[in-house]
Every structure is written in C-alpha cells, then in structure tokens.
Amino acid sequence: MATMGLRNRWVIGNWKMNGTRAGNAALLGAVSAAPSGAGKLGLCVPFPYLGQAQSVLTGGHIAWGAQDVSEHAAGAYTGQVSAAMLAEFGVTLALVGHSERRQYNGETSDLVARKASAALNAGITPVICVGETLAERDAGRAEAVVGQQLQACMDVLQRSQGAAIVAYEPVWAIGTGKTATPAEAQAMHAFIRATLRALGAEADATSILYGGSVKASNAQELFTQADIDGGLIGGASLVAADFLAIAAAL
C-alpha cells in the first residue's frame, strides 16, 4: 500500500555544494515548469542561492529549503545561518543531521536535535536525517544507531506533532550508487515508525523519506513500500529530468 492517507508524500532534492547562478536558473526553471503531481516537492539549495530559489519558486508548487541551520538565534557564530534568516528567504524546509555534516563537521545527535528545534521554533520544517554506516550495519547495530539518533530528537519530534520529517539515509547508500533494497528500506522505516510511536511522537502522521542513490529506475519500488513516504534525493536532483521522473513515482 503506497500511502496511509494521513501523511504527506515528498520528494526533496538536496543539491549539496553544487550550482551556479546560470545553472540554477535552468534547473529551477525546468523543475518548476513541470505540472504538479501526486506529492509535494522541495529543493534544498546552498545558502547563497536561497534568494534565487525564492524568486523563481514563489507562487509555484515547489518548496525550497536549506541544507543546515544554526542551533543559535543570533550572535557571534561566524559562518552560521539562523532559522530566522532562512525564514526571511521564504524557507520552509531545513535538512538537519545530514550524514555528510555528521561525518565532516562532527555533528552529534544532540546538536542535530538543537538545530531541529531551532528550525521548528521558526516555523521551518526540519528534515531530520538518520542512518547507519556500513560498519554499523555489518555489526548488527543499524537499528540501535538509528534509534539513538531519533531518541536524541524526541522533544522536537513530540512537539512537531507530525510536522517534522524524518529521512532515513543509510550512509553506505549515499552517493555510492548502492541502494538499500526495498525490503531493507521498508524494514528500517517500519522500525523508525515504531520508534516514533514509542517516543510519543505522531508516528502515523510523520513522513519518513528514504535517501541513498534513489533514481528513476528504483524510485517506484521504494516509494510503494508501506512506510516509505517519498525520498530525499542527492545526485539525481541536479538533473531536472531525473528529479521529475523520481517525483512522478510518488
């Protein structure tokens, strides 16, 4: 069964550190020109391009977002960007805890939780990214790791009443061309939903997206799993036709 009806279905692109003003104009133009489909679409772009995304996407059916947000409201935090600043650019989505930030910037689950909270307090939907490494999976610790990452965000998950989005992105599947099988992904998504329920969050209203080398060729099989409510898309979000083909699988 593809949907429980209660949950929003999403395809969200993560451009990572890619883009140029000219390239973005073409990509944003092509994606926004396509008719809206069954689910919701979002694009998380680098900070300097938020104004450009806002000017192209305002009034259309595609949301835009950031790839990170500061835990702080304002002050001496050089290089950081606050949730209130993002809101001034019409941002409604913010990734938090992407594995590349956990890995390269040493972000802990507690910091991720504070960032998610800062986003939520500013009216921005946090997209809380969780996922295990290959070593953790091979050691049989995948559920323990993801469970701990969710537990750290318990307060924000409860407070959001189903508005926060969870993205399950096995680290070994991000940008590697390796995708979790639909059965592997569904099993973890079911675990995540059960964990949300156990933590007192609105589990049945929470969108849980899968991320990790999603392509047009595997999107439909993933998105039709009972607990997979769409996808977080990295590389394929940089090509309009690929992103739109994935969106069509919602």
> Contact positions toward ligand PEP, by CB under 6 A?
14, 16, 169, 174-175, 211-214, 232-236
Question: Does residue 72 carry a catalytic annotation?
Answer: no
Nearer residue to ligand PEP within complex by CB, 155 or 221: 221
Which residue type does 5 have? G
Least distance to ligand PEP, CB of residue 174, Å? 4
In three-state secondary structure terms, 102 is helix
Choice among 71, 98, 100, 107 that is catalytic: 98
Least distance to ligand PEP, CB of residue 245, Å? 14
Nearer residue to ligand PEP within complex by CB, 91 or 246: 246
Buried b (16+ CB within 10 A) or exposed e, 23-32: ebeebbeebb
CB 57 within 8 A of CB 46: no
Choice among 71, 107, 136, 169 that is catalytic: 169
Least distance to ligand PEP, CB of residue 170, Å? 9
Please tell me the distance from the alpha carbon of residue 11 to that of residue 98, in angstroms, as a whole number.
Answer: 16
Please tell me the distance from the alpha carbon of residue 142 to that of residue 191, in angstroms, as a whole number.
Answer: 10
Least distance to ligand PEP, CB of residue 164, Å? 17
Nearer residue to ligand PEP within complex by CB, 197 or 242: 242
What residue number has its CB nearest to ligand PEP?
234
What sign does the CA torsion over 106, 112, 113, 118 have? positive
Distance from the Cα of residue 28 to its chain's centroid? 18
In 3D space, the residue among 190, 187, 179, 183 whose CA is nearest the CA of residue 212 turns out to be 179
Nearer residue to ligand PEP within complex by CB, 28 or 180: 180
Nearer residue to ligand PEP within complex by CB, 89 or 168: 168
Q: Helices in 59-207 by DSSP H: which ranges?
A: 83-88, 99-104, 109-121, 134-138, 142-152, 154-160, 182-198
Least distance to ligand PEP, CB of residue 238, Å? 9
Question: Does residue 136 carry a catalytic annotation?
Answer: no
Which residues have a catalytic role annotated? 98, 169
